[in-house]
Amino acid sequence: MNSELIPPGVKLSNSDDVSIIDIEDAPCVKKSAEKVVDEARKNFNTNKTKSFSFRQRQLKNLIRFLSEEENALCDALYKDLKKPAFEAITHEVAIALRDAEETLNNLKNWMKPEQPEKTIVNYFDKLYIYNDPYGVVLVMGAWNFPVFATLLPKYIDKHCYPVFLGGIEETTELLKQRFDYIFFTGSPQVGKIIHQAASKHLTPTTLELGGKSPVYIDSTADLELAAKRIIWGKIQNSGQVCVAPDYILCNTKTTTDYGRIINQRHFNRLTEMLKNQKIALGGHSDPNSLFIHPTILVDVNPNDPVMQDEIFGPILPIVNIQNMNEAINFINDREKPLVLYIFTNDKVVKETFLERTSSGGVTINDTIMHIAAEGLPFGGVGNS
Q: Phi, psi at residue 150, to the nearest 5°?
A: -120, -45
- CATH number at 106 reads 3.40.605.10
- Res. 28: pLDDT tops 50: no
194/274 same-domain check: no
72/132 same-domain check: yes
- Res. 341: pLDDT tops 70: yes
Question: Are 80 and 132 spatial neighbours (Cβ–Cβ below 8 Å)?
Answer: no
What's the number of domains the chain is made of?
2
pLDDT tens figures, 71-111? 878 887 777 667 788 888 887 888 888 889 999 999 999 99
Tell me what the mean pLDDT of segment 122-140 comes to: 90
Task: Write out the residue range of the structural domain in which residue 137 sits.
Answer: 33-208
pLDDT of residue 141: 72
42/85 same-domain check: yes
Q: Which residue has the higher pLDDT, 312 or 46?
A: 46
208, 235, 257 - which closes a domain: 208
Tell me what the mean pLDDT of segment 142-161 comes to: 61
178, 208, 238 - which closes a domain: 208
Confirm whether 15 is domain-assigned. Answer: no
Confirm whether 21 is domain-assigned. Answer: no
pLDDT tens figures, 218-269? 888 888 898 889 888 877 776 777 888 887 887 655 433 322 333 344 677 7
How many other CB atoms are found less than 10 A from the CB of residue 39? 17
Percentage of the chain lying above the pLDDT 70 cut: 77
208, 242, 264 - which closes a domain: 208
Confirm whether 262 is domain-assigned. Answer: yes
How many other CB atoms are found less than 10 A from the CB of residue 170? 14
pLDDT of residue 138: 93
Question: Are 268 and 288 spatial neighbours (Cβ–Cβ below 8 Å)?
Answer: no
Q: At what angle do helices 94-111 and 52-68 cross, to 10 degrees?
A: 170
Q: Which residue has the higher pLDDT, 131 or 294?
A: 131
- Res. 1: pLDDT tops 50: no
287/186 same-domain check: no
Confirm whether 18 is domain-assigned. Answer: no
Question: Are 376 and 248 spatial neighbours (Cβ–Cβ below 8 Å)?
Answer: no
pLDDT tens figures, 152-185? 455 678 788 777 777 778 888 889 999 999 999 8
Mean of per-residue pLDDT scores for the chain: 77
pLDDT of residue 175: 92
DSSP string spanning 241-306?
Answer: -TTSEEEEEE-TTT----------S-HHHHHHHTTT-EEEE---EETTTTEE--EEEES--TTSGG
CA 124 to chain centre: 46
pLDDT of residue 151: 54
Distances (CA, A) of 341 to 240, 344, 353, 364: 17, 10, 10, 6
Lowest-confidence pick of 1-5, 56-60, 154-158, 313-317: 1-5
250/129 same-domain check: no
pLDDT of residue 14: 37
Q: How far is it, in rounded angstroms, from Cα 156 to Cα 159?
A: 9
194/217 same-domain check: no
Q: Which residue has the higher pLDDT, 373 or 5?
A: 373
Residues with a known catalytic role: 208
Residue type, 218: D
How many other CB atoms are found less than 10 A from the CB of residue 45? 11
pLDDT of residue 115: 92
pLDDT of residue 6: 32
- CATH number at 359 reads 3.40.309.10
Confirm whether 23 is domain-assigned. Answer: no
254/301 same-domain check: yes
pLDDT tens figures, 181-213? 999 988 888 889 999 999 999 999 999 887 788
- Res. 12: pLDDT tops 70: no
Going by C-alpha positions, the residue among 194, 230, 231 that lies closest to residue 209 is: 194
- Res. 22: pLDDT tops 50: no
How many other CB atoms are found less than 10 A from the CB of residue 204? 13
Confirm whether 347 is domain-assigned. Answer: yes
Going by C-alpha positions, the residue among 331, 334, 335, 298 that lies closest to residue 317 is: 298
